């Protein structure tokens, strides 16, 4: 089948990261994808195999499927094939020119219309189960009368699941359940990929106190800038943390970083899922929202995670939802929690398998 996937970039490792992983997983299973992106520049370091040029065009050919990366506003021509599935990632809606083109085709179509899917944000909140796979009828515009379907990723078998490529599933099945040592027993490596947490300097002092020979591994971007600012706030007499600033990493390189670190600070959606697959202790920096909606969303996730009290307390302080001091890091309990969650997830159908099943039923 041919898929049109639409992505508007807000966070490089978030929406674009998810859309590329989705496209690559589909192509590895014999599907063809056109990925429409309004800013594909980050793909030059995130996914160099796509060979994206300065104008935003790129292509990756796999053994059984291919991905064409296209600029958001690139027009379609009579040579372009009609797709079988449309995916609006994170509710971004279809490009205007695509709607015009699709509407003109719809008037002359004699074959089945494409399955139209709104791939929603990831959440552990209860509304996800209620809303997953619900239809939404288009009431106006050139595509009036069409139906789009809500598809919700999630953490249980009543949702659309998570992206977990076959090779990642194989790694999880093959990897032993390794127990973490106490923080004080080893030179700890911590990866940092975050926004601007107010508790960052507090965490820097805590880890320096708890772990001898500790090193921060800083992913490029906002987190690295926040680390510099927190470093400047440390008292002159305080122990200075060891750190290394990493270059922009490919998705494979970032996944490897999470697997080889002892503690991972992650942010947004894509890296949260990868932290779960890595099976190491992690702290999630949820995307902050002005209306405070991130608070219930974070607590719903911590409930699903079955987070021990110290991990919940750390999350709430890290995300600015509590003024309590950061608790000591219990690496053994936190990693055991992650691995138990990963084990629960590994028994569920992954997102791409569910999507393939869903669109086949709707065609």
Identify which has the larger pLDDT, 79 or 249.
249
Number of residues that make up the chain: 363
Summarised one tens digit per residue, pLDDT across range 101-158 is 888 876 655 567 899 999 999 999 999 999 999 999 999 999 999 999 999 999 999 9
Confidence grade of residue 199 (pLDDT, cut at 50, 70, 90): very high
Summarised one tens digit per residue, pLDDT across range 89-110 is 998 999 999 999 888 876 655 5
Q: 287-290 long-range contacts, Cβ below 8 Å, gap at least 24?
A: 287/11, 287/14, 287/195, 288/195, 288/319, 288/320
Q: Compute the mean pLDDT over every residue in the chain, rounded to the nearest whole number.
A: 93
My answer on whether 358 and 239 are in the same domain is no
What pLDDT score was predicted for residue 10? Answer: 83
**Over residues 199-226, mean pLDDT:** 94
Say which of 25, 262, 269, 330 is annotated catalytic: 269
Task: Establish whether 269 is a catalytic residue.
Answer: yes
What is the pTM assigned to this prediction? 0.95
What pLDDT score was predicted for residue 86? Answer: 97
Confidence grade of residue 239 (pLDDT, cut at 50, 70, 90): confident
My answer on whether 218 and 146 are in the same domain is no
What pLDDT score was predicted for residue 111? Answer: 60
Summarised one tens digit per residue, pLDDT across range 245-304 is 999 999 999 999 999 999 999 999 999 999 999 999 999 999 998 899 999 999 999 999
My answer on whether 185 and 141 are in the same domain is no
My answer on whether 100 and 59 are in the same domain is yes
What pLDDT score was predicted for residue 12? Answer: 61
Phi, psi of 231 (to 5 degrees): -60, -40
How many whole angstroms separate alpha carbon 80 and alpha carbon 25?
A: 22
Q: Which of 185-189, 230-234, 324-328 holds the top average pLDDT?
A: 324-328
My answer on whether 223 and 139 are in the same domain is no
**Over residues 77-98, mean pLDDT:** 92
What pLDDT score was predicted for residue 102? Answer: 86
My answer on whether 88 and 73 are in the same domain is yes
My answer on whether 184 and 224 are in the same domain is yes
Three-class SS string for the chain?
Answer: CEEEEEECCCCCCCHHHHHHHHHHHHHHCCCEEEEEECCCCCHHHHCHHHCCCCCCCEEEECCCCEEEEEECCCCCCCCCCCCCEEEEECCCCCCHHHHHHHHHHHHHCCCCCCEEEEECCCCCCCHHHHHCCCEEECCCCCCCCCEEEEECCCCCCCCCCCCCCHHHHHHHHHCCCCCCCCHHHCCCEEEECCCCCCCHHHHHHHHHHHCCCCEEEECCCHHHHHHHHHHHHCCCCCCCCEEEECCCCCHHHHHHHHHHCCEEEEECCHHHHHHHHHCCEEEEECCCCCCCCHHHHHHHHHHHHCCCHHHHHHHHHHCCCCCCCCCCCCHHHHHHHHHHHHHHHHCCCCHHHHHHHHHHHHC
What pLDDT score was predicted for residue 176? Answer: 72
What pLDDT score was predicted for residue 11? Answer: 66
How many whole angstroms separate alpha carbon 254 and alpha carbon 16?
A: 14
Say which of 15, 84, 270, 330 is annotated catalytic: 15
What pLDDT score was predicted for residue 13? Answer: 64
Confidence grade of residue 63 (pLDDT, cut at 50, 70, 90): confident
My answer on whether 340 and 195 are in the same domain is yes
Total domains in the chain come to 2
- Check pLDDT > 70 for residue 202: yes
My answer on whether 215 and 306 are in the same domain is yes
What pLDDT score was predicted for residue 339? Answer: 96
What pLDDT score was predicted for residue 236? Answer: 83
My answer on whether 183 and 237 are in the same domain is yes
What pLDDT score was predicted for residue 107? Answer: 60
| Structural domain range at position 257 | 168-346
My answer on whether 43 and 86 are in the same domain is yes
Q: 46-55 long-range contacts, Cβ below 8 Å, gap at least 24?
A: 46/12, 46/13, 46/16, 46/17, 46/20, 46/248, 46/249, 46/250, 46/251, 47/20, 47/250, 47/251, 48/250, 50/20
My answer on whether 9 and 136 are in the same domain is yes
CATH number at residue 268: 3.40.50
How many whole angstroms separate alpha carbon 16 and alpha carbon 38?
A: 10
- Closest by alpha carbon to 284, among 328, 317, 261? 317
What pLDDT score was predicted for residue 211? Answer: 86
């Amino acid at each position: 089948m041919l898929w049109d996937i639409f992505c508007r970039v807000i966070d490089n490792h978030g929406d674009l990261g998810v859309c590329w992983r989705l496209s690559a997983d589909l192509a590895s299973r014999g599907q063809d994808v056109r990925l429409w992106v309004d800013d594909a520049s980050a793909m030059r370091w995130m996914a160099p195999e796509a060979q994206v040029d300065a104008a935003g065009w790129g292509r990756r050919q796999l053994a059984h499927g291919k991905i064409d990366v296209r600029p958001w506003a690139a027009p379609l021509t009579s040579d372009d094939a009609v797709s079988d599935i449309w995916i609006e990632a994170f509710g971004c809606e279809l490009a205007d020119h695509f709607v015009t083109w699709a509407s003109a085709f719809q008037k002359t179509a004699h074959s089945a219309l494409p399955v139209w899917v709104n791939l929603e944000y990831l959440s552990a909140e209860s509304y996800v189960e209620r809303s997953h796979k619900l239809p939404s009828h288009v009431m106006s515009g050139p595509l009036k009368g069409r139906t789009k379907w809500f598809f919700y990723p999630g953490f249980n078998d009543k949702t659309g699941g998570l992206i977990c490529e076959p090779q990642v599933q194989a790694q999880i099945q093959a990897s032993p359940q390794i127990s973490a040592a106490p923080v004080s027993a080893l030179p700890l490596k911590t990866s940092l990929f975050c926004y601007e947490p107010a508790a960052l300097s507090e965490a820097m002092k805590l880890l320096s106190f708890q772990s001898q020979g500790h090193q921060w591994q800083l992913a490029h971007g906002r987190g690295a800038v926040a680390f510099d600012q927190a470093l400047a706030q440390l008292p002159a007499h305080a122990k200075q943390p060891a750190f290394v600033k990493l270059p922009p990493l490919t998705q494979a390189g970032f996944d490897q970083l999470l697997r080889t670190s002892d503690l991972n600070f992650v942010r947004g959606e894509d890296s949260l899922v990868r932290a779960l697959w890595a099976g190491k202790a992690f702290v999630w920096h949820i995307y902050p929202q002005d209306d405070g909606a991130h608070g219930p969303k974070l607590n719903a996730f911590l409930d699903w995670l079955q987070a021990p009290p110290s991990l919940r307390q750390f999350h709430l302080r890290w995300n600015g939802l509590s003024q309590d001091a950061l608790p000591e890091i219990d690496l053994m309990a936190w990693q055991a929690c992650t691995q138990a969650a990963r084990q629960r997830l590994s028994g569920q159908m992954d997102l791409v398998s569910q999507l393939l099943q869903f669109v086949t039923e709707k065609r």
